[in-house]
Amino acid sequence: MGPGDFDFESDPSHDGAMPVWAAFGDLMAGALGAFALILVCAIGMQMDLSERLASEAGERTRQAQRLQTLEQALADPLAGGRVTLTDGRIGISGSVLFAFNSDELQPEGRELLQTLVGPLNTYLRERGEILMVSGFTDDRPMRDTHGRYVDNWELSAKRALTVTRALIDAGLPSSDVFAAAFGAEQAVASNADAAGRARNRRVEMAPMARVPRTASGDPG
């Protein structure tokens, strides 16, 4: 071997190990791949968040429009002060509709319900919704000496049914309304005083979406 020749076999830098620049290149390629993956995930999460926010904003807008439509439909009854509208729930004081511990409609209550049928009928028909009539009581135990009601649940159920039937008799289609009973549950005021108990003795009406039905007519 001459003086100008180089023995690669004896060079320790060529003993089979990967050159430093090649290892660095592989490391950079892996880092870039990981960064690209993180970037794609971040963009996907941002798009998903944007879509959810847009959907929520759209839902809030629809709810606001729905409440505005309902308020406009009930403008006259609301102006009279005997009906309230809170978060889409139409409230009527129990004392307007019924005497204490009774499920028989008072003349004033029947007249009020008749004024609600027209606006409710129009609203439900235009929006394809259904009306839930709910009965509520205060939390005092029943003291009915005639044995007509077992407890507050039964009294609230019979009051809800009475209002439902009155609405149907006044022209609301029976397919557009149903009754529900809550007894003393879901109080809107304290039952510790007479004023609070009076607020809890109430009937509420709430328009809601119809339950989707299958082709056979059974709920899906």
Over the chain (220 residues), the average pLDDT of each successive run of 10 is: 52 55 68 79 80 70 75 83 88 89 92 93 92 94 72 93 97 96 93 92 93 60
CB atoms within 10 A of CB 56: 10
Phi–psi pair at 193, nearest 5 degrees: -135, 165
**Mind listing the pLDDT tens digit for each residue in 70-115?**
888 788 888 888 889 988 899 998 889 998 888 999 999 999 999 9
Euclidean distance between CA atoms 218 and 220, whole angstroms = 6
Evaluate if pTM is beyond 0.95. Answer: no
For the record, the structure tokens of 194 come out as: 């007479």
